[in-house]
Amino acid sequence: MNDFDVGCRWFGASAALVILAACQGSSAKSGALPNVVASTELGKSVSWMAPEAASQDLLYLSDVAANNVKVYSFREGRLVGTLTGFGKPRSECADEAGNVWIADIEGRDVIEYPHGGTKPIASLDTFGVPVGCSVDSGARDLAVAGGISGSIVSIYHEGPQGRWSDPKRYTDSVMGIPYFCGYDSNGNLFVDGRTKSKAGSFALVELRRRSTTFESIVVSQAIDTPGQVQWDGKDLAIGDSGLAPSVAYRFSISGSNATEVGKATLDGTISVRQFWIAGGTLVGPDFNRNAGFWKYPAGGAPIKAIARVHSYGAAVSRS
Protein backbone atom coordinates (compact mmCIF):
# COMPACT_ATOMS: atom_id res chain seq x y z
CA MET A 1 0.00 0.00 0.00
CA ASN A 2 1.28 3.42 -0.96
CA ASP A 3 2.05 5.48 2.15
CA PHE A 4 0.61 8.66 0.66
CA ASP A 5 -2.09 7.78 -1.88
CA VAL A 6 -4.69 6.20 0.36
CA GLY A 7 -7.41 4.23 -1.45
CA CYS A 8 -10.66 4.13 0.50
CA ARG A 9 -14.30 3.25 -0.06
CA TRP A 10 -16.89 5.96 0.51
CA PHE A 11 -19.78 4.72 2.57
CA GLY A 12 -22.18 7.53 1.69
CA ALA A 13 -22.78 8.76 5.23
CA SER A 14 -22.29 12.36 6.26
CA ALA A 15 -19.69 13.21 8.88
CA ALA A 16 -20.98 13.08 12.43
CA LEU A 17 -19.51 13.96 15.77
CA VAL A 18 -19.09 11.02 18.13
CA ILE A 19 -18.15 11.69 21.71
CA LEU A 20 -15.86 9.02 23.12
CA ALA A 21 -15.42 9.09 26.85
CA ALA A 22 -12.64 6.86 28.20
CA CYS A 23 -13.03 4.44 25.28
CA GLN A 24 -11.12 2.85 22.57
CA GLY A 25 8.39 23.10 -12.21
CA SER A 26 7.44 26.94 -11.93
CA SER A 27 6.10 28.75 -8.94
CA ALA A 28 3.02 30.86 -8.43
CA LYS A 29 0.13 30.42 -10.80
CA SER A 30 -1.82 33.51 -11.69
CA GLY A 31 -5.27 34.26 -12.98
CA ALA A 32 -7.90 31.55 -12.72
CA LEU A 33 -5.66 28.91 -11.12
CA PRO A 34 -6.09 26.40 -13.97
CA ASN A 35 -5.81 23.27 -11.84
CA VAL A 36 -8.38 24.48 -9.29
CA VAL A 37 -11.33 23.53 -11.47
CA ALA A 38 -14.80 24.81 -10.66
CA SER A 39 -16.42 22.07 -8.65
CA THR A 40 -19.44 21.92 -10.96
CA GLU A 41 -17.10 20.81 -13.75
CA LEU A 42 -16.10 17.82 -11.66
CA GLY A 43 -19.69 16.85 -10.95
CA LYS A 44 -19.31 17.74 -7.28
CA SER A 45 -21.17 20.17 -5.07
CA VAL A 46 -19.69 23.64 -4.93
CA SER A 47 -17.43 24.77 -2.12
CA TRP A 48 -19.33 26.33 0.77
CA MET A 49 -18.70 27.79 4.20
CA ALA A 50 -21.12 28.67 6.96
CA PRO A 51 -21.31 32.44 7.71
CA GLU A 52 -20.11 31.93 11.28
CA ALA A 53 -17.06 29.87 10.28
CA ALA A 54 -14.66 32.80 9.90
CA SER A 55 -15.10 33.80 13.56
CA GLN A 56 -14.19 30.33 14.88
CA ASP A 57 -11.08 28.19 15.16
CA LEU A 58 -11.41 25.70 12.30
CA LEU A 59 -10.25 22.14 11.68
CA TYR A 60 -9.49 21.21 8.06
CA LEU A 61 -9.55 17.50 7.16
CA SER A 62 -8.64 16.17 3.71
CA ASP A 63 -11.14 13.47 2.74
CA VAL A 64 -9.44 10.81 0.57
CA ALA A 65 -12.72 9.17 -0.44
CA ALA A 66 -14.57 12.29 -1.62
CA ASN A 67 -11.28 14.05 -2.59
CA ASN A 68 -12.37 17.25 -0.95
CA VAL A 69 -11.51 19.07 2.28
CA LYS A 70 -14.08 19.19 5.05
CA VAL A 71 -13.99 22.07 7.52
CA TYR A 72 -15.21 21.72 11.11
CA SER A 73 -15.51 24.02 14.09
CA PHE A 74 -12.50 22.97 16.13
CA ARG A 75 -14.24 23.23 19.51
CA GLU A 76 -17.53 21.56 18.63
CA GLY A 77 -16.54 19.25 15.77
CA ARG A 78 -19.48 20.53 13.71
CA LEU A 79 -19.24 20.56 9.91
CA VAL A 80 -19.18 24.21 8.76
CA GLY A 81 -17.80 23.95 5.22
CA THR A 82 -16.41 21.92 2.35
CA LEU A 83 -13.72 22.84 -0.18
CA THR A 84 -13.91 21.10 -3.56
CA GLY A 85 -12.13 21.07 -6.91
CA PHE A 86 -9.04 19.05 -5.94
CA GLY A 87 -7.48 16.03 -7.58
CA LYS A 88 -6.29 14.14 -4.50
CA PRO A 89 -5.84 16.41 -1.46
CA ARG A 90 -3.68 14.89 1.27
CA SER A 91 -1.39 16.74 3.71
CA GLU A 92 -2.09 20.18 5.13
CA CYS A 93 -0.42 22.96 7.10
CA ALA A 94 -1.45 26.34 8.50
CA ASP A 95 0.34 29.58 9.32
CA GLU A 96 -0.05 31.98 12.23
CA ALA A 97 -2.47 34.14 10.25
CA GLY A 98 -4.87 31.21 9.84
CA ASN A 99 -4.17 30.58 6.17
CA VAL A 100 -4.28 26.88 5.26
CA TRP A 101 -2.24 25.09 2.59
CA ILE A 102 -3.60 21.92 0.96
CA ALA A 103 -1.17 19.57 -0.79
CA ASP A 104 -2.78 18.00 -3.87
CA ILE A 105 -0.78 14.95 -4.95
CA GLU A 106 -2.66 14.56 -8.23
CA GLY A 107 -2.49 18.22 -9.20
CA ARG A 108 1.14 18.36 -8.01
CA ASP A 109 0.60 21.68 -6.32
CA VAL A 110 -0.12 23.28 -2.97
CA ILE A 111 -3.12 25.58 -2.68
CA GLU A 112 -3.62 28.31 -0.07
CA TYR A 113 -6.99 29.28 1.40
CA PRO A 114 -7.68 32.13 3.81
CA HIS A 115 -9.23 31.29 7.17
CA GLY A 116 -12.87 30.41 6.58
CA GLY A 117 -12.66 31.20 2.87
CA THR A 118 -13.83 29.20 -0.14
CA LYS A 119 -11.66 30.79 -2.83
CA PRO A 120 -7.90 30.02 -3.06
CA ILE A 121 -5.53 32.95 -2.74
CA ALA A 122 -2.41 31.20 -4.08
CA SER A 123 -1.48 28.04 -5.95
CA LEU A 124 2.12 26.86 -6.31
CA ASP A 125 3.35 24.13 -8.65
CA THR A 126 5.50 21.57 -6.86
CA PHE A 127 8.55 19.73 -8.09
CA GLY A 128 6.91 16.32 -8.05
CA VAL A 129 4.34 14.99 -5.56
CA PRO A 130 3.89 17.24 -2.48
CA VAL A 131 4.04 14.97 0.57
CA GLY A 132 4.08 17.32 3.57
CA CYS A 133 4.32 21.05 4.21
CA SER A 134 5.17 23.56 6.92
CA VAL A 135 5.13 27.36 7.20
CA ASP A 136 7.74 29.61 8.79
CA SER A 137 5.51 32.63 9.35
CA GLY A 138 8.34 34.87 10.53
CA ALA A 139 10.45 34.38 7.41
CA ARG A 140 7.35 34.06 5.19
CA ASP A 141 8.60 30.73 3.86
CA LEU A 142 6.67 27.63 2.84
CA ALA A 143 8.51 24.28 2.87
CA VAL A 144 7.13 21.39 0.83
CA ALA A 145 8.57 17.91 1.32
CA GLY A 146 8.82 15.57 -1.66
CA GLY A 147 10.01 15.88 -5.21
CA ILE A 148 11.89 14.18 -8.01
CA SER A 149 15.53 13.96 -9.08
CA GLY A 150 16.64 13.58 -5.47
CA SER A 151 14.82 16.66 -4.11
CA ILE A 152 14.03 16.39 -0.42
CA VAL A 153 12.28 19.71 0.11
CA SER A 154 11.41 22.85 -1.83
CA ILE A 155 11.16 26.21 -0.07
CA TYR A 156 9.07 29.07 -1.44
CA HIS A 157 9.36 32.65 -0.20
CA GLU A 158 6.44 35.06 -0.12
CA GLY A 159 7.44 38.51 -1.24
CA PRO A 160 5.51 41.79 -1.45
CA GLN A 161 1.80 41.68 -2.33
CA GLY A 162 1.61 37.91 -1.96
CA ARG A 163 4.00 37.13 -4.80
CA TRP A 164 5.73 33.78 -4.32
CA SER A 165 9.27 33.13 -5.51
CA ASP A 166 10.45 30.16 -7.51
CA PRO A 167 11.35 27.45 -4.99
CA LYS A 168 14.83 26.65 -3.78
CA ARG A 169 15.24 22.89 -3.94
CA TYR A 170 17.40 20.93 -1.52
CA THR A 171 18.83 17.43 -1.76
CA ASP A 172 20.56 15.25 0.83
CA SER A 173 23.21 12.55 0.67
CA VAL A 174 21.49 10.33 3.26
CA MET A 175 17.74 10.69 2.80
CA GLY A 176 16.20 9.08 -0.24
CA ILE A 177 12.44 9.37 0.39
CA PRO A 178 11.11 12.37 2.35
CA TYR A 179 7.80 12.17 4.19
CA PHE A 180 6.89 15.16 6.37
CA CYS A 181 8.53 18.43 7.42
CA GLY A 182 8.19 20.97 10.20
CA TYR A 183 9.73 24.31 11.20
CA ASP A 184 10.64 25.02 14.80
CA SER A 185 10.21 28.43 16.41
CA ASN A 186 13.70 29.53 15.27
CA GLY A 187 13.16 28.80 11.59
CA ASN A 188 15.07 25.51 11.54
CA LEU A 189 13.43 22.93 9.27
CA PHE A 190 13.20 19.21 10.12
CA VAL A 191 12.34 16.53 7.58
CA ASP A 192 11.76 12.84 8.25
CA GLY A 193 11.79 9.98 5.78
CA ARG A 194 13.75 6.92 4.72
CA THR A 195 17.42 6.55 3.86
CA LYS A 196 18.77 5.81 0.39
CA SER A 197 20.04 2.44 1.58
CA LYS A 198 18.39 -0.80 0.51
CA ALA A 199 16.90 -1.21 3.97
CA GLY A 200 15.30 2.24 3.77
CA SER A 201 15.55 2.88 7.51
CA PHE A 202 14.12 5.94 9.28
CA ALA A 203 16.02 9.19 8.87
CA LEU A 204 15.69 12.70 10.31
CA VAL A 205 17.56 15.67 8.86
CA GLU A 206 17.68 19.35 9.75
CA LEU A 207 18.13 22.39 7.54
CA ARG A 208 19.20 25.09 9.95
CA ARG A 209 18.11 28.64 9.37
CA ARG A 210 20.19 30.31 6.65
CA SER A 211 21.98 27.02 5.92
CA THR A 212 22.06 25.44 2.46
CA THR A 213 22.80 21.86 3.49
CA PHE A 214 21.01 19.29 5.61
CA GLU A 215 22.52 17.80 8.76
CA SER A 216 21.63 14.27 9.86
CA ILE A 217 20.05 13.99 13.31
CA VAL A 218 20.61 10.91 15.47
CA VAL A 219 17.25 9.81 16.91
CA SER A 220 17.16 7.92 20.22
CA GLN A 221 13.89 6.10 19.44
CA ALA A 222 13.38 3.57 16.65
CA ILE A 223 10.57 4.61 14.30
CA ASP A 224 8.94 2.14 11.94
CA THR A 225 7.07 4.37 9.48
CA PRO A 226 7.74 8.14 9.38
CA GLY A 227 4.76 10.26 10.36
CA GLN A 228 4.04 13.94 10.86
CA VAL A 229 6.80 16.33 12.02
CA GLN A 230 5.63 19.33 14.07
CA TRP A 231 7.14 21.68 16.62
CA ASP A 232 4.88 21.78 19.68
CA GLY A 233 6.38 24.97 21.16
CA LYS A 234 9.06 23.19 23.17
CA ASP A 235 9.88 19.84 21.57
CA LEU A 236 9.79 18.22 18.14
CA ALA A 237 6.87 15.82 17.71
CA ILE A 238 7.40 12.96 15.24
CA GLY A 239 4.74 10.40 14.47
CA ASP A 240 5.16 6.67 13.92
CA SER A 241 2.27 5.60 11.67
CA GLY A 242 3.57 2.05 11.40
CA LEU A 243 2.44 1.17 14.92
CA ALA A 244 -1.07 0.21 16.03
CA PRO A 245 -1.93 2.23 17.98
CA SER A 246 0.03 5.08 16.40
CA VAL A 247 2.41 7.13 18.53
CA ALA A 248 3.54 10.76 18.53
CA TYR A 249 7.00 10.92 20.13
CA ARG A 250 8.42 14.10 21.64
CA PHE A 251 12.10 14.81 21.12
CA SER A 252 14.42 17.36 22.67
CA ILE A 253 16.83 18.62 20.00
CA SER A 254 20.43 19.36 20.99
CA GLY A 255 22.98 19.75 18.24
CA SER A 256 22.76 16.69 16.01
CA ASN A 257 20.85 14.58 18.55
CA ALA A 258 17.14 14.03 19.13
CA THR A 259 16.45 12.58 22.57
CA GLU A 260 13.01 11.19 23.38
CA VAL A 261 11.39 13.00 26.32
CA GLY A 262 7.89 11.57 26.07
CA LYS A 263 5.25 10.09 23.83
CA ALA A 264 1.52 10.29 23.19
CA THR A 265 0.00 6.92 22.37
CA LEU A 266 -3.16 7.38 20.28
CA ASP A 267 -5.32 4.57 21.61
CA GLY A 268 -7.68 2.85 19.19
CA THR A 269 -5.87 3.89 16.01
CA ILE A 270 -4.52 1.87 13.11
CA SER A 271 -2.39 4.40 11.23
CA VAL A 272 -2.31 8.14 11.95
CA ARG A 273 -0.06 9.71 9.34
CA GLN A 274 -0.41 13.49 9.38
CA PHE A 275 -1.72 14.78 12.73
CA TRP A 276 -1.95 18.36 13.94
CA ILE A 277 -1.11 19.72 17.40
CA ALA A 278 -3.07 22.75 18.56
CA GLY A 279 -2.06 23.70 22.10
CA GLY A 280 -3.16 20.91 24.42
CA THR A 281 -4.99 18.95 21.73
CA LEU A 282 -3.74 16.58 19.04
CA VAL A 283 -6.06 15.79 16.12
CA GLY A 284 -5.20 12.56 14.35
CA PRO A 285 -6.96 11.32 11.20
CA ASP A 286 -6.89 7.53 11.41
CA PHE A 287 -6.53 5.49 8.23
CA ASN A 288 -9.96 4.93 6.63
CA ARG A 289 -11.70 5.45 9.98
CA ASN A 290 -12.25 8.46 12.23
CA ALA A 291 -10.45 11.67 13.10
CA GLY A 292 -9.74 11.51 16.81
CA PHE A 293 -8.97 14.20 19.38
CA TRP A 294 -6.46 13.45 22.15
CA LYS A 295 -5.10 15.42 25.05
CA TYR A 296 -1.53 16.42 24.25
CA PRO A 297 1.04 15.43 25.35
CA ALA A 298 -0.81 12.81 27.42
CA GLY A 299 -2.39 10.76 24.63
CA GLY A 300 -4.30 7.67 25.73
CA ALA A 301 -8.04 7.34 25.07
CA PRO A 302 -9.49 9.90 22.63
CA ILE A 303 -11.70 12.56 24.16
CA LYS A 304 -13.92 12.70 21.05
CA ALA A 305 -13.85 11.86 17.34
CA ILE A 306 -15.37 12.88 14.03
CA ALA A 307 -16.71 9.71 12.45
CA ARG A 308 -17.04 8.66 8.80
CA VAL A 309 -14.62 11.18 7.36
CA HIS A 310 -11.87 9.21 5.62
CA SER A 311 -9.19 11.78 6.27
CA TYR A 312 -5.45 11.78 5.75
CA GLY A 313 -4.24 15.26 6.71
CA ALA A 314 -5.31 17.77 9.34
CA ALA A 315 -4.62 21.41 10.16
CA VAL A 316 -6.13 23.79 12.69
CA SER A 317 -6.64 27.39 11.57
CA ARG A 318 -7.00 29.97 14.35
CA SER A 319 -9.55 32.75 13.97
Q: Which of 110, 108, 107 is nearest to 134 (CA)?
A: 110
Other CB atoms within 10 A of residue 22 CB: 9
Rounded average pLDDT over 113-129:
97
> What is the pLDDT, as a whole number, of residue 21?
33
308: Cβ contacts below 8 Å, ≥ 6 apart: 11, 13, 14, 15, 16, 290
Residue pLDDT, tens place only, 67-106 = 999 999 999 999 999 999 999 999 999 999 999 999 999 9
pLDDT surpassing 50 at residue 41 = no
Beta carbons of 128 and 147 less than 8 angstroms apart:
yes
Helices marked H in the chain: none
Residue pLDDT, tens place only, 10-26 = 323 333 333 333 333 33
Task: Kindly report the pTM of this predicted structure.
Answer: 0.87
Other CB atoms within 10 A of residue 128 CB: 16
- Measured CA to CA, the distance from residue 220 to residue 195 in angstroms comes to 16
Beta carbons of 180 and 145 less than 8 angstroms apart:
yes
- The CATH class for the domain spanning 18-317 reads mainly beta
Q: Between residues 20 and 302, which one has the greater pLDDT?
A: 302
> What is the pLDDT, as a whole number, of residue 5?
45
